[in-house]
């Protein structure tokens, strides 16, 4: 199983450590990798019937369990994985939330699933069952009599499965509906995808398609490390015992079925079809049922002369895309057979079916494919999933504990296949992503267990870094010797459970090479050696020049900007932000202003450190900017421009998070703003017309120190952020506390809650002529001239008329009303201000999803409102609608209800009391996630 990676966008330690059972209490005292190898056997006979009306299964299973261990067993852990879909408290549900998905969490009861009606008998005797202390989808079957070494027992039970909507790998999907098309974002193949909203079934449900996987009670593996009772997970696959399967499937007559193994016979009744499948030496069984399936059949002669059957099942809609599917399957089988060992089964099948996400998922002899892409995409996905018949179906490693042994080695062969049939393929972005994580110390060892990986590392490390490490092993041995080693590994461990030390032992023994250094790497973090300059990549800009060894590349692109004073500004963006990032990074943005005819722009130089302990990242940075902020005409008719420059040195510390999958970030930042301002506030009277004209002034210097303490959790469910910011300048201090919390709605969207509080005070003696008003916190909209750190982009920073004057800044109390003509209504204070803000998405029944309309209601108070004879009511409020454009970057506020204080004053100024004049908007470029857009950009 592998995801399509889009190009846009100490070995003896953990590597050799024994697999840890989720319930270590079940481990035998002697459980260790030093015990002699043994392997249990489980043979299955299953009869199952599909109830299409109720989307359920009714079945009966007979298991013959053979104990080849040296231990006497008193119980058997049993996987009942359909219960992973029973409620939102399963390990599966928790992992989905951790990976950024809420679709299952907010799913309806009808979309969930379970398994019940279990009644285990062991050799005819009733067996008691116990719940696992942690996982709802694992149970313990207590054997009525102990099972001695080399003994066997027969377990039987009926079972009923309520099939879930396909949030992950199995269940049902609905053809032709939003539910079928939304997908649940399971990570199943080479292309990641996600849906954050629960699928919505139409009033008249369309026909269902079924993906029946992980559907029957299955014993956990017991090996020389002990028991391995595993909960079902979306990220992380399976570990099961080998045996023979005899399965009879009964479905409504209209359904076409594709399944694991060979169809040996079938029978019909007036309304049902029963199909009988058999397959030996496998550890799982999956099947798929759809009324629409078309079938393509071919045969393939293997190098030994043996002939196997090749099947492809697909819907009419995908008939054209799947016209070469059997050719792709055959080519994949021949490719792997030549390099690793001959395909051992008599049938190989690929099925096009909707699943939880775009991609594919492997099962013995059969693979499910859900892909909308190019023929190349389909070919590579089929090759990867068919390839899992070697690394999963035959070499049955513990994928949950060591995903690199399955996904990583399989990906290595994918890369060889792609290089052979698509030689123009470029994997530089993949390697650069791996190296970037190593530089930033956010990577994890290849030997990490599946559930312990972050979602992105699961693909970047377990898949792609392992494939790169395998290429290093290939290059070290040479291709012929490497291929010989891998064939020996396959021959030695086929239909068994190899562990990492088994793989290493075969490679070292066959090659007769000392490979200790190479085999120590999967247990370590860091880039794979070497990391030459050509492994750096740069953003896709207009052109780039190779530079020095430390910078690697300089990148150039045209740049444009605008404000009403400088008007159009043209220039270039010059930077060295490549992947992986260099220790020293910079960007320059020189801009020529066509109106003010001056050189403006911005730039920054930074040095980033990634300490080993305590801190995740330390960034030392100095940035600067210069732009015009006002304009006028002097008494001689010459254009004058006010403006600012700023230099802002800073240091930011990001504290290390002890849990790799945690989404919490804690940071501390110190920044000093060194600002020069030239204002057009010195006017003279001209005798000839008695009018006042501005004169050219000088830059006035000021500073401001700022300390920011922040904790945030960008989890998908109920994310929050808390910011404490302390500011100090020559004659004042200001302390702001901002708390943000998001309440998710079950059907998508949610409620943003923001709490703001600010305390302002004076330092030393106040100068009579000094006006500190712009620094004071306020309730109503913050204007451009009040952005005293020049941290926001304004079209007209000092505009008082026209569209630019209606721009505000999302700061302070955030009541989106402009009260320029009514200073007493601003809720401003030189003491304290407090406010609450609510923003909510609207029901989709009222507002279509494509229309980004939200409702808002903001309210607050301030110190002055509680004094004698206050200028306003104690509480001020404003509410209405908001157009949220470009993911919180551009917001347009439409106030409809507000305090009587505002409405009364607006009536006194009719030209300000119009609908358009009451609108305001904000532009928050700082909300753009440049890292997602361009990779390692620091803005």
Q: Are 409 and 391 in contact (CB under 8 A)?
A: yes
**Bridge pairing between strands 639-655 and 664-678:** antiparallel
Confidence of residue 689 (pLDDT cuts 50, 70, 90): confident
Number of Cβ within a 10 Å radius of residue 835: 25
In SS3 terms, 869-888 reads as CCCCCCCEEEEEEEEEECCC
Interatomic CA distance for residues 922 and 894, integer angstroms: 12
Return the half-sphere exposure (C-beta side, CA atoms, 13 A cut-off) of residue 59: 27
Q: Scan for tokens 């030093």, then name that residue.
A: 34
**Closest by CA position to 722, among listed 742, 741, 739, 743:** 739
Q: Are 829 and 776 in contact (CB under 8 A)?
A: yes
Confidence of residue 191 (pLDDT cuts 50, 70, 90): very low
Please list, in sequence order, all residues whose beta carbon lies within 8 angstroms of the beta carbon of residue 69, skipping any fewer than 6 positions away: 38, 40, 149, 222, 224
Confidence of residue 426 (pLDDT cuts 50, 70, 90): confident
Angle CA 343–346–347, to nearest 5: 95
Interatomic CA distance for residues 537 and 7, integer angstroms: 11
**Bridge pairing between strands 256-259 and 700-713:** unpaired
Summarize the confidence of residues 411-416 as an average pLDDT: 97
pLDDT tens, position by position, 859-911: 999 999 999 999 999 999 999 999 998 888 999 999 999 999 998 888 888 87
Interatomic CA distance for residues 33 and 223, integer angstroms: 9
Q: Are 306 and 320 in contact (CB under 8 A)?
A: no
Residue 394 has pLDDT above 70, yes or no: yes
365: phi then psi, degrees, rounded to nearest 5: 70, -5
Interatomic CA distance for residues 922 and 279, integer angstroms: 64
**Closest by CA position to 719, among listed 692, 684, 743, 688:** 743
Got the DSSP string for 258-292? EESSEEEEEEE-SSEEEEEEEEEEES---EEEETT
The neighbouring-strand residues paired with 631 are: 641
Please count the residues of the chain. 939
Interatomic CA distance for residues 751 and 754, integer angstroms: 10
The neighbouring-strand residues paired with 667 are: 654, 710
pLDDT tens, position by position, 473-517: 999 999 999 999 999 999 999 999 999 999 999 999 999 999 999
pLDDT tens, position by position, 596-624: 999 999 999 999 999 988 899 999 999 99
105 SS3 class? coil
354: phi then psi, degrees, rounded to nearest 5: -70, 140
Number of Cβ within a 10 Å radius of residue 560: 10
What pLDDT shows up at residue 748? 87
The neighbouring-strand residues paired with 664 are: 713
What pLDDT shows up at residue 681? 83
Confidence of residue 176 (pLDDT cuts 50, 70, 90): low
Q: Are 91 and 84 in contact (CB under 8 A)?
A: yes
544 SS3 class? strand
Mean pLDDT over each residue of the chain, to the nearest integer: 89
**Bridge pairing between strands 700-713 and 691-694:** unpaired
pLDDT tens, position by position, 269-318: 999 999 999 999 999 999 999 999 999 999 999 999 999 999 999 999 99
Q: Are 65 and 147 in contact (CB under 8 A)?
A: yes
What pLDDT shows up at residue 911? 76
Interatomic CA distance for residues 296 and 311, integer angstroms: 6
pLDDT tens, position by position, 559-586: 999 999 999 999 999 999 888 888 999 9
211 SS3 class? strand
Q: Scan for tokens 């290059």, then name that residue.
A: 475
Confidence of residue 667 (pLDDT cuts 50, 70, 90): very high
pLDDT tens, position by position, 713-725: 999 999 999 999 9
**Bridge pairing between strands 128-131 and 584-593:** unpaired
Confidence of residue 180 (pLDDT cuts 50, 70, 90): very low
Angle CA 267–268–274, to nearest 5: 55
Return the half-sphere exposure (C-beta side, CA atoms, 13 A cut-off) of residue 743: 8
pLDDT tens, position by position, 730-787: 999 999 999 999 999 998 899 999 999 999 999 987 776 788 999 999 999 999 999 9
The pTM for the full model equals 0.88
Please list, in sequence order, all residues whose beta carbon lies within 8 angstroms of the beta carbon of residue 47, skipping any fewer than 6 positions away: 59, 60, 247, 248, 250
Q: Are 838 and 816 in contact (CB under 8 A)?
A: no
Summarize the confidence of residues 384-408 as an average pLDDT: 97
**What is the DSSP code (8-state) at residue 3?**
B
165: phi then psi, degrees, rounded to nearest 5: -60, 145
As a 3-state breakdown, the chain gives helix, strand, coil percent values, each rounded to 5, of 20, 40, 40
**What is the DSSP code (8-state) at residue 656?**
P
Q: Are 11 and 522 in contact (CB under 8 A)?
A: yes
Give first-to-last CA distance, the chain, whole Å. Answer: 36
Angle CA 540–541–543, to nearest 5: 115
Q: Are 566 and 595 in contact (CB under 8 A)?
A: yes
What percent of the chain has pLDDT above 70?
A: 90
């Amino acid at each position: 199983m592998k995801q399509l990676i889009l190009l846009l966008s100490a070995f003896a330690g953990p590597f050799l450590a024994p697999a840890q059972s989720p319930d270590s209490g079940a481990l035998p005292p002697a459980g260790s990798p030093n015990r002699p190898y043994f392997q249990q056997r489980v043979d299955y006979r299953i009869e199952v019937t599909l109830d299409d009306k109720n989307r359920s299964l009714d079945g009966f299973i007979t298991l013959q369990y053979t104990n080849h261990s040296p231990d006497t067993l008193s119980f058997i852990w049993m996987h009942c994985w359909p219960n992973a879909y029973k409620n939102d408290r399963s390990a599966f549900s928790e992992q989905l939330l951790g990976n950024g998905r809420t679709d299952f969490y907010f799913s309806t009861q009808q979309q969930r699933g379970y398994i019940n009606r279990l009644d285990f008998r062991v050799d005819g005797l009733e067996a008691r069952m116990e719940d696992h202390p942690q996982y709802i989808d694992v149970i313990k079957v207590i054997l009525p009599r102990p099972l001695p070494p080399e003994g066997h027992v027969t377990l039987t039970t009926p079972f009923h499965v309520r099939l879930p909507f396909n949030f992950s790998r199995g269940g049902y999907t609905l053809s032709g509906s939003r539910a079928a098309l939304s997908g649940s974002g399971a990570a199943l193949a080479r292309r990641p995808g996600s849906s954050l909203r629960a699928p919505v079934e139409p009033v008249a449900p369309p026909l269902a398609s079924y993906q029946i996987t992980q559907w029957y009670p299955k014993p956990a593996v017991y090996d020389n490390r002990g028991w391995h009772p595993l909960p079902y997970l979306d990220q992380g696959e399976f570990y099961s015992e080998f045996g023979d399967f005899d399965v009879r499937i009964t479905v409504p007559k209209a359904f076409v079925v594709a399944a694991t193994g060979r169809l040996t016979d079938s029978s019909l009744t007036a309304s049902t079809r029963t199909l009988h499948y058999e397959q030996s030496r496998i550890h799982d069984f999956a099947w798929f049922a759809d009324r629409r399936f078309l079938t393509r059949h071919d045969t393939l002669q293997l190098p030994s002369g043996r002939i196997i059957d090749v099947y492809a099942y697909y819907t009419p809609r995908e008939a054209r895309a799947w016209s070469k599917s059997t050719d792709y399957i055959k080519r994949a089988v021949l490719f792997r057979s030549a390099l690793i060992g001959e395909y051992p089964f008599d049938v190989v099948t690929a099925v096009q079916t909707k699943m939880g996400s775009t991609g594919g998922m492997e099962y013995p002899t059969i693979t499910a494919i859900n892909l909308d892409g190019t023929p190349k995409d389909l070919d590579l996905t089929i090759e990867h999933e068919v390839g899992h018949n070697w690394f999963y179906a035959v070499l049955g490693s513990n994928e949950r504990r060591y995903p690199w042994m399955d996904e990583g080695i399989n990906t290595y062969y994918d890369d060889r296949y792609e290089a052979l049939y698509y030689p123009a393929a470029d994997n530089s972005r993949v390697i650069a992503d791996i190296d970037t994580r190593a530089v930033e110390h956010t990577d994890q060892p290849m030997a990490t267990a599946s559930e312990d990986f972050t979602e992105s590392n699961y693909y970047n490390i377990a898949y792609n870094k392992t494939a790169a490490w395998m290429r290093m092993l290939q290059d070290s041995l040479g291709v012929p010797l490497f291929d010989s080693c891998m064939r020996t590994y396959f021959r030695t461990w086929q239909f068994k459970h190899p562990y990492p030390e088994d793989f290493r032992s075969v490679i070292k023994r066959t090659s007769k090479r000392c490979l200790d250094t190479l085999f120590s790497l999967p247990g370590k973090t860091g880039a794979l050696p070497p990391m030459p300059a050509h492994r750096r990549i740069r953003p896709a800009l207009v052109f780039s020049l190779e530079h020095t060894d430390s910078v690697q590349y300089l990148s150039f692109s045209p740049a444009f900007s605008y404000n009403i004073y400088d008007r159009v500004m043209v220039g270039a963006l010059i930077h060295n932000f490549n992947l992986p990032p260099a220790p020293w990074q910079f960007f320059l943005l020189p801009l020529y202003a066509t109106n003010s005819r001056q050189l403006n722009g911005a730039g920054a130089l930074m040095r980033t450190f990634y300490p080993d302990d305590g801190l995740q990242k330390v960034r030392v940075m100095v940035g600067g900017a210069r732009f015009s902020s006002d304009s006028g005409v002097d008494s001689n008719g010459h254009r004058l421009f006010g403006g600012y420059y700023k230099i802002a040195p800073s240091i930011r510390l990001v504290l290390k998070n002890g849990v790799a999958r945690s989404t919490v970030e804690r940071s501390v930042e110190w920044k000093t703003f060194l600002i020069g301002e030239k204002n057009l506030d010195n006017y003279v009277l001209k005798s000839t017309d008695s009018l006042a004209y501005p004169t050219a002034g000088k830059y006035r210097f000021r500073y401001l120190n700022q300390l920011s303490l922040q904790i945030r959790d960008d989890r998908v469910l109920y994310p929050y952020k808390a910011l404490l910011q302390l500011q100090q300048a020559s004659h004042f201090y200001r302390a702001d506390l901002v708390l943000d919390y998001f309440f998710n709605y079950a059907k998508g969207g949610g409620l943003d809650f923001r709490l703001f509080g600010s305390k302002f005070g004076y330092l030393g003696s106040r100068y009579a002529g000094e006006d500190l008003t712009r620094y004071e916190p306020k309730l109503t909209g913050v204007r451009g001239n009040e952005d005293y750190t020049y941290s926001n982009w304004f079209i007209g920073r000092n505009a008082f008329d026209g569209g630019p004057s209606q721009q505000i800044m999302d700061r302070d109390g955030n009541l989106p009303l402009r009260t320029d003509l009514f200073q007493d209504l601003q809720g401003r204070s030189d003491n304290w201000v407090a406010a609450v803000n609510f923003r909510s998405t609207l029901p989709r029944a009222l507002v279509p999803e494509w229309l980004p309309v939200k409702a808002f209601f903001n309210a607050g108070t301030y110190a002055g409102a509680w004094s004698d004879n206050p200028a306003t009511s104690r509480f001020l409020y404003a509410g209405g609608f908001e157009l949220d454009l470009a993911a919180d970057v551009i917001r347009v506020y439409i106030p409809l209800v507000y305090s009587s204080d505002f409405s009364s004053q607006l009536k006194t100024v009719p030209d300000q009391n119009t609908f358009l004049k009451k609108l305001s908007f904000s532009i928050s470029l700082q909300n753009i996630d440049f890292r997602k857009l361009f990779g390692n950009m620091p803005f």
